[in-house]
Structure 1
């Protein structure tokens, strides 16, 4: 019996994985294309809630808290304020209700016009169509199980692309038209190979980073074996000197934090909880990879303003940097607006590859079935003669 060639083995592997796991890869690509612009899309879908046309002097953080906390006292206490990053954006004030029974209470986000102080509306944390698409993309709507599955999909996608490249490589011998052209007579086949090759680099990067995002427990030990990871500070506490000691207001805390990390862009302010609670300031430091998120953190004593701990991009180890850049590399944010646009288009490729691959497989299967039926008919005719 003749042994199958390596090309045939790769073809069968590519075909099997493409027809099965490839469907989830296509789903991940389509949802990922949407999520490349998730913040802008969320704002456009909820303009009345998340955007304002008012202009003028923006409310201070202290004035915001004094205005909004009593107005929405029934929601609990303010624990985080998301600061507008443009003139059109609004304050996003997060309330965490008190726990009453089993389970952790779901936060409520209140949206406040930064110029008038008017409450524009509210919604549960991580709700809305964009949040649902993100959950579908990252977790298949099934939590940690779905996250693990998507990590496996990312690993499989790497195998698919490598096997596809190995199958394409011999076509170069046939010239440019065979290797790169799209012929009318072989449209599905040629479109499949051209889209796969054209999207190869961004898709490889998306899949590679997706392995970490879906299977961090698989990747982290490898990276930690060559570089230590800086742990996020735990149990950081303020120290009240005397009873009734005044606390810093949020504006004072932010000013002190930005002195510690000058030139940083402010993202969030976590308010102190209880007598030992601290201010936690979230910033994006100069030189960070990506524009959508920041990794800088400053913990401040709510009484003295002393910096108790930091998470500083400028002091990151190789492991810290590696883990930090995976998401902006995954969604194209590391390459600016042009990169995000490219990754948005690249995210469509897996769906095109799945459809064209399925059509190639289906037509081949039908062709084999017709040939088998023809052989059986011919045999029946001969046996009746």
Structure 2
């Protein structure tokens, strides 16, 4: 190995080491929360079983649920949407309220019994352990700049995974030598080297997609379709649902059901920026979006939204709609970085103790030599 290669390897080792040491306290909660959120629906059902009762009776008219939800509204709140379960779950009503001083509207959720429309629970958008995990993973629960902080941590993890793969590569012998468990004399080092190798490339993918999600403006130019008006940062982000739309929710649902020919799964209210109902109807094929004009109840089928690069990146990152094998890889990709951060710190402390021991021994030998 040439001297320049040795110097480069030492430099990358220092970068890899200090990324793990300095960012361990942030990497561990990010990784573990990401692993948990792979099973978001299952976790929510375990934490909130009251929201997931079996539905055996026919659903009531949409107005029955909105009337029940209206009784729980606080001053200034408006119903934004209502979602209906598919076999298991509650009717979920989304509530919106204008934020003081502008900004995104405040959101809350109300869960209703699908058989009786009786309220089950009400919670804010960021309340509950699952929402806390989302907030922790998406922004470290830091308001304002949290998502950017997570994005730069993703850059560091991408660099760490790639440098770790290079540092794993055996200096002598074949590549298969690197797959041996006993490359190092202690358990932590062997676990770090072997676990780091197997997770390096998946972790690089998860880190890169996480960076994309954290900095969408920097990557929008690569998207197949422009960002929708109602998306983050779009002109529809500040829209509020109408408090008194012209069409009732039952009228909008009836018109959409005729046009879409299926079962309604979601109804979104018209807003002060777009006076049309958006109804999702599920038939034999893929769900169909139906736009119902609030002025005259005329309908128009919405073409399916194209799969943008941004959406694909998010699905790769969180596993939504992906094969079970990839979801398992994401789960392990959340557990292992936390373990690697701990084992890396233990390896560093072990090296420091060994160096201190050698220094003390050398100092003692030197003092003995001077005394003699």
Corresponding residue for 1:291?
A: none
The answer on 1:301 being equivalent to 2:299 is no
Q: CA deviation at 1:350?
A: 0.3
Look up the match of 2:60. Answer: 59
Q: Deviations over 1:83-117 (max 9, x none)?
A: 21x32200111233577888876333221111222
* Aligned partner of residue 145 in structure 2, secondary structure: helix
Match of 2:48? Answer: 46
Runs of 5+ consecutive residues of structure 1 not aligned to the other structure: 238-243, 289-293
In structure 2, the partner of 1:375 is: 362
1:269 corresponds in structure 2 to 267
Residues 188 and 283 of structure 1: CA distance in aligned 2, closer, same or farther (over 3 Å): farther
Instruction: Show the counterpart of 1:249.
Output: 251
Give the alignment partner of residue 340 of structure 1, picking from 307, 312, 327. 327
Contact kept, 8 Å, 1:171 with 1:179, in 2: the verdict is no
226, 234, 238: which is aligned to 1:229?
226
- Any idea what the Cα deviations from partners look like across 1:330-355, whole Å, max 9, x if unmatched? 01224234432332122101011111
1:100, 1:207 → 2: CA distance? Answer: 35
Q: Is the 8 A contact 1:298 1:311 kept in 2?
A: no
Residues 203/308 of structure 1: CA separation in 2 closer, same or farther (3 Å cut): same
Q: How many residues align?
A: 355
Counterpart secondary structure, 1:20: helix
Task: Measure how far apart 1:281 and its partner are.
Answer: 3.3
Q: Following superposition of structure 1 onto structure 2, how do residues 280-359 of structure 1 map, counting pairs within 5 Å?
A: 280-281=278-279, 298-307=290-299, 310=302, 312-313=304-305, 316=306, 321-359=308-346
CA contact (8 A) 1:62 1:250 kept: no
Q: Deviation of residue 167 (structure 1)?
A: 1.1
Cα deviation per residue 1:211-261 (whole Å; 9 max; x = unaligned)? 11112233224x16xx552543767x9xxxxxx9755624225426636xx
Query: Normalising by the residue count of structure 1, what TM-score does the alignment of the two structures yield?
Result: 0.80
Deviation at residue 149 of structure 1 after TM alignment: 0.8
1:241 corresponding residue in structure 2: none
TM-score (structure 2 length as normaliser): 0.82
- Report if the CA contact (8 A) 1:168-1:193 is conserved: yes
| Equivalent residue for 2:348, pick from 361, 366, 382 | 361
SS of residue in 2 equivalent to 1:141: coil
Post-superposition shift, 1:376? 1.1
Query: Which deviates further from its counterpart, 73-82 or 154-163?
Result: 73-82
* Runs of 5+ unmatched residues, structure 2: 240-244
With over 3 angstroms needed to count, the CA separation of the structure-2 counterparts of 1:172 and 1:90, relative to structure 1, is farther
Secondary structure of 1:312's partner? coil
Q: CA 1:307–1:20 in structure 2 vs 1: closer, same or farther (change >3 Å)?
A: farther
Contact persistence 1:36–1:343 (CA under 8 A): yes
List aligned pairs for 1:143-222, cutoff 5 A. 143-171=143-171, 173=173, 176=176, 178-183=177-182, 185-221=185-221
TM-aligned CA distance change 1:142 to 1:377, over 3 Å: same
Q: Distance in 2 between matches of 1:5 and 1:341?
A: 38
Distance 1:324 1:266, change over 3 A: farther
**Cα distance change of structure 1 residues 206 and 311 upon mapping to structure 2, 3 Å threshold:** farther
Distance 1:170 1:302, change over 3 A: same
Q: Tell me how far 1:12 sits from its aligned partner.
A: 1.3
Q: CA deviation at 1:190?
A: 1.6
Counterpart in the other structure of 2:242: none
Cα deviation for residue 39 of structure 1 reads 2.6
Find the counterpart in structure 2 of residue 10 from structure 1. Answer: 12
Aligned-residue CA RMSD in angstroms?
A: 3.4
Q: Give the whole-Å Cα distance in 2 for the aligned partners of 1:287 and 1:20.
A: 50
Q: Which moved more, 1:69-78 or 1:157-166?
A: 69-78
Question: In 2 relative to 1, CA 311–102 (structure 1 residues): closer, same or farther, beyond 3 Å?
Answer: same
